[in-house]
Amino acid sequence: MVKKALAVKLVAKPGKEAEVEAFLNSGLGLVNDEPLTVTWYAIKFNENTFGIFDTFAEDEGRDAHLNGKVAEALMANAGELLAEPPSIEKVDIIAAKAAGQRSASSVA
């Protein structure tokens, strides 16, 4: 079961939106080589705001990802692509539904 996650917000510099989107697309190849990353999503909130949401079974996977190639590439390119430093939040999963699963709810 996934219990840990990262929520990352990325705000592109004006004129760099397409490059941020391309960077996120290229990140998928890197994260596919991370066996402890359960899921990884690159998302777009609006024209210049993007995000990454990824999940892990334990802190070990999350820490490995934070020290991995995607994080390294993000920090190396942040100054050129982003209007502000990336906002990286460690979050805990409290409920989840995965494909093929029905989750029980404690809500009546």
**How many distinct structural domains can be found in the chain?**
1
Q: Is residue 73 part of a domain?
A: yes
Q: What pLDDT, on a 0 to 100 scale, did the predictor assign at position 43? A: 97
The model's pTM: 0.87
Q: What is the rounded distance in angstroms from the CA atom of residue 63 to the CA atom of residue 104?
A: 29
Q: What pLDDT, on a 0 to 100 scale, did the predictor assign at position 98? A: 79
CATH code, domain with 12: 3.30.70.100
Q: What pLDDT, on a 0 to 100 scale, did the predictor assign at position 104? A: 56
Q: What pLDDT, on a 0 to 100 scale, did the predictor assign at position 1? A: 84
Q: Is residue 71 part of a domain?
A: yes
Give the residue numbers spanning the domain of 20.
4-92
Look at residues 96, 102, 78, 90 and name the one whose alpha carbon lies nearest to residue 5: 90
Q: Is residue 103 part of a domain?
A: no
Q: Is residue 65 part of a domain?
A: yes
Q: What pLDDT, on a 0 to 100 scale, did the predictor assign at position 28? A: 92
Q: Which residues of 65-74 are buried (b: 16+ CB within 10 A; e: fewer)?
A: beebebbeeb
Q: What is the rounded distance in angstroms from the CA atom of residue 84 to the CA atom of residue 87?
A: 9
Each of the 108 residues of the chain gets a pLDDT tens digit; together they read: 899 999 999 999 999 999 999 999 999 999 999 999 999 999 999 999 999 999 999 999 999 999 999 999 999 999 999 999 999 999 999 998 877 766 555 544
